[in-house]
Amino acid sequence: MCGILGSFPNCDSNKFQKALNLLAHRGPDNQTVYESDTICLGHTRLSIIDLDAQSNQPMEIDDMVLIFNGEIYNYLEIKKELIALGYYFSTHSDTEVLLKSYQEWGEACVERFNGMWSFAIFDKKNNSLFLSRDRFGVKPLYYIYDSKRFVFASEIKALLPYLDQTVANRDEVVRYLVYGVQEHRKETMFTHIYRFPPGCNALYNMENKKLSFDKYYTLQIDIEETIDESLVKNKLKNLVEKSIDFRLRSDVKIGMALSGGVDSNIIVSKANAQNKTIESFSSIYDSKEQINENENIEHTVKSLNLKQHYIVAQIDSLVKKIENIVWMQDEPFDTLGIFAQYKVYEKMNEKAVKVSLDGQGADEIFAGYGTYRSVLLRENMFKYKFLREYFKYYKSFFIQDLKLLMISFFPKLFEWLYFKKRADKIFNKKVAFVPSLKESFSNFNNLNQKLVYDVKEYLSVLLRYVDRNSMAHSIESRAPFLDYKLINYAFELPSNLKYKDGFSKYILRKTFEKDVSEEIIWNRDKKGFPVPQNEWCTDENFIILAKKYISNSMILKELDINCNIDKHDPMYWKIVNIAIWEDVFKIEGIK
């Protein structure tokens, strides 16, 4: 895992170095710049595979120069194939495999990669840049592009030295406050800075200064209606285990972010079977709210004999760290839940862990949230067998689910009424209604349509949180449930294997019921990633901190925000976040 930076045309060396230094946390092990008459390419390295200096980047072979952030997990298999084609390798890195794959297969090489990446290859012969981002956008990439220049980087902050002014994007700020984070969009919270789309390649021609995109991957639904559950379990087990095998490839120490839930317990049980040195890390709370998962975590720790580390996320630490968290995240975030995650990676760093296995993705591909029940109702409203099962297990949720079902038939009306009401609460004066530019959360005819959307829109937000929190502490986060072969297969499975017998993620639980204790694998009590946000936002020290930023905020005054909103309202944190973000990034205006 690393940080990459590129600038065309060749820029002022001091400005480039200043920008590259802003990515130092992503790669503390080495920093190198490639410079030609036309372009600057910079790389900060976090050494994970092949720690030798030969594998430092930018890596130059023949007429090509590569800068790469991420991991190609199946690099050994691809390397074997390339050797059979006559290629010779001088390193043991996946970086060299990537570059020689491009030499052999061109842009189509990315279709062979199983991994996470954002990279750029400068072709000196053709005077062009080839860029790519992985299928689901696990690894970030941002850019500035106009008729005179093209600059790209792993994080927004590294692009700020290239702006004459740091200006907030008015519509995106409003959308954040009303709808929440929208990570799937091209636009960012900064004007003139754009998000490189996931599952896309791009070619930048240095002669005519044209940037063109090509989408190489789109998640498809391809349901097998007649399916044998035992065969599904066998294939699913093989895919998950293979994915974990790939993500255990490392030349450095590996840790595990462990919660009391199904997903991380599946991963830790399979990973521990192969590598007994893996240490586990969990966040708990000194809180009046009943949100801890200590019992389940301790059960796993004892049964697997794990070396366990507990992290207590406390308000005093939050107040001290909040500016750094906002800085590392680049853009505002919806909830303080990411503070607990930040503290877990901080502890991993203290224990010299450089790779973390994490459970992101399972909820979005196997239907882990209760809100999916309303989509199931819509999909099966005239099926007696489904309705009988629904009322057997979910009777107490019927009124709640029925409301969402009725809304689903009038999504545009709901968006207008619900979010317009929220906007009226946030803004003192009426503002022109800014549409979300995303599909209504209820506008889906079946469960898999909704899950595809959540992978694109909701999961992308979680991935940004994880990337910035882990890289803030120079740790590579790897998510076995984001293996593209596993995800592709998940969307061949009908909804009745995802929600069944009163359980979400049914087929995943059933597949690994012998690997994880019954108390955990069949536990219906899903806490997600909870934090005592209400307690924190009403803490005296937090309120003092918030008032300072709010009173100095140009953006809040410009938008005429209601800053007296109830501190228990989730909107309160968003308003505070905007004010801190504005101060930390020295925002000079909004338009």
The pLDDT value given to residue 24: 98
Domain shared by 45 and 75, yes or no: yes
Kindly state whether residue 294 falls inside one of the protein's structural domains: yes
Q: Which amino acid is at 23?
A: L
Express each pLDDT in 494-504 by its tens digit: 999 999 999 99
Kindly state whether residue 371 falls inside one of the protein's structural domains: no
The pLDDT value given to residue 480: 97
- Flag whether pLDDT at 287 surpasses 70: no
The pLDDT value given to residue 10: 77
Domain shared by 116 and 173, yes or no: yes
Domain shared by 207 and 291, yes or no: no
Domain shared by 461 and 543, yes or no: no
Domain shared by 207 and 233, yes or no: no
Mean pLDDT over 104-111 rounds to: 97
Q: Output Rg (C-alpha) for the chain, integer angstroms.
A: 24
DSSP line for 10-48: ---HHHHHHHHHTTGGG-BSEEEEEE-SS-EEEEEE---
Q: What is the CATH number of the domain that holds 137?
A: 3.60.20.10
Whether pTM exceeds 0.75: yes
Domain shared by 158 and 300, yes or no: no
Domain shared by 202 and 117, yes or no: yes
Express each pLDDT in 185-213 by its tens digit: 899 999 999 999 999 999 999 999 999 99
Express each pLDDT in 352-393 by its tens digit: 999 999 999 999 999 999 889 999 999 998 898 899 999 999
- Flag whether pLDDT at 247 surpasses 70: yes
Domain shared by 135 and 279, yes or no: no
| Domain of 237, in residue numbers | 229-312+335-366+451-521
Kindly state the helix (H) or strand (E) to which residue 494 belongs, with its residue range: none
The pLDDT value given to residue 233: 96
Q: By the 8 A CB rule, do 260 and 293 touch?
A: yes
Kindly state whether residue 559 falls inside one of the protein's structural domains: yes
Identify which has the larger pLDDT, 401 or 151: 151
**Mean pLDDT score of the chain, rounded to an integer?**
92
Q: By the 8 A CB rule, do 158 and 20 touch?
A: yes
Question: Of 466, 495, 521, which residue is a domain's last?
Answer: 521
Express each pLDDT in 519-528 by its tens digit: 999 987 765 5
Tokens of 217: 């991957």
Tokens of 312: 């207590």
Express each pLDDT in 167-182 by its tens digit: 999 999 998 998 888 8
How many separate domains does the chain show? Answer: 3
